[in-house]
Chains A and B, each alone.
Chain A
């Protein structure tokens, strides 16, 4: 670290103080951000000569990692929740069910405090980047400055729209509701802009393009249109919906566990259902978006693709499979519990299909988690005839993994359809034929996905990637696109045989909702690490090399510890935001009228999962 000229007497004692200070706790570094920023930006001469600054103790990279991760997760939350709220508001408007409108309003209320927290972390991140990576930031600023202005403008528009959307909620009911919905649309539109503009900066770092001479606006626009920009935009947009849905689900799960009255339990049980539904709804197309992103990465630079899928990050995808597998299991388990506890009598009807689905999911998860090559001693490798196991090696390749991921999506979709149909009796004359067609289509689709997967072993990789994998995805999408409206039509005229009962779920339902949210947050952290590590020792791939002491990607274990820490901190921040946002409600709340009752199985240890008490009566 250099200090030059007349600044030295001023900055030297300050930096010494900072260094001593950091020894006692790196978190306190945040308090010194303004000083750090001044040290960075106070003199151009200094900024030009300094490429990096470090933070003693925690290290500059780790500090940026934590702050950036919190900012990104919060950003995902504040971009996902408005989508969730807007969708709920539309559903409430169309179905005339006020509880959806209430739910949408409840979550919009969170946005004001959540936005402030997100912006706070964004500001800290910006100061850190300017202070710790001045050369990189100078380059990016030079390249993207016009887009910074657009970003600021979008923020202004977003903030103004959010104020109108939130404060105008009650005033814009009745015939003004359409305008309020339009505001919700604008809110999400500006939020989309706020997401995609910085995405272009990050994706440019991973996949920079040739930028010809031109005006600042032309250069910025050319740099923004890099190959991974739109795949990341779409992937993040869907992932934000998933994050928003599952966080709402987790909030509902916690509130359900804390609920003391029947009304509360019914409300949060229902909220958990809606959150899980939207999370799963987003999760189903997410792997396809991820597949598109990886395709673009390979197309842009095969070396980068190999680093991700076959290089030192190969084991990361085993962890990813595990997290996605747990998420799929958790989401399905919640559906199955819903069938069992919310629809009395449906359990026996769906017991066998649920068992079959569980077996398929576990088998698929086993295949997905099979590593491509095994860690083996020389002797073991000799016995196996290489690092590939003679039997399990078959499951370690992409053809098998693509197949099982498609099957898991199919199973999850069918869980949802099953839940939809439970407790209802179709009355339409064509119901039998429709169900037979759907059953046949499902079987054909499952077989086709497996056949294409097996066939994929016998064709060149390029054929498999471009045709077989795409065909598998299209088959699953076809099933989803045809089954959803068909089931909706069937249910429209169906007779309800068993009314849905809310608030009867066991305590493990609340935990499974929390687990799903944790899995999604971990997944986002894990894939962020993967995307960042794919640049290896480059700040901007192939353009600006990282020459700092941190020009390496840490091993998975170390990275996972950081991801866990980040996830925990994020959960606490979100809990704090929820707590702050509901403080006023608690003060205003009337004494509870409903009887105080326990959740079924509440007395059992949580680890045992609890069980509904058969004798328990709510009233």
Chain B
């Protein structure tokens, strides 16, 4: 479960952004939409502790992450949060199975193989990332996000690079994996195709300059 309270953020030489309070329970999903530049990704980075808010509170489980030191935040993120990015980033020199096992908080190789099977990517595991299509890469990305059995999964534009067929498949898999891990899922996107899949939606207001 994740809850936020009175989150604000300020970019240097820019106006302050205030975010609405969010609560997502385990196994539930929340879609955050809004126009480009309204601070969707910023909010996601705040939630993952990659940026620090100007003010406000974020609680993941029982932990108030806004009080963490950067190094402790990295460790907390590694063990409790799974992240899916718009462009699937990989360590290019590692095979996909090695990419799955990359996190220091990975539970086991068996877990990786089980998840890979569910996502139908087990046949790619001994290949290198660049040998895969974008849709396949995004499925590996989802697999990696749940390798640490996270409490929270944060997805940033996970479908924008995909065609319709892959889009539905990837978002279904994402929701499915979040539920199997009993994790709260937050998807940030401007992709309208996702609206059909996630009922609960939060639309961020455009930034007032």
A pairs with B: no
Residue numbers of B with Cβ under 8 A of A are none
Residue numbers of A with Cβ under 8 A of B are none
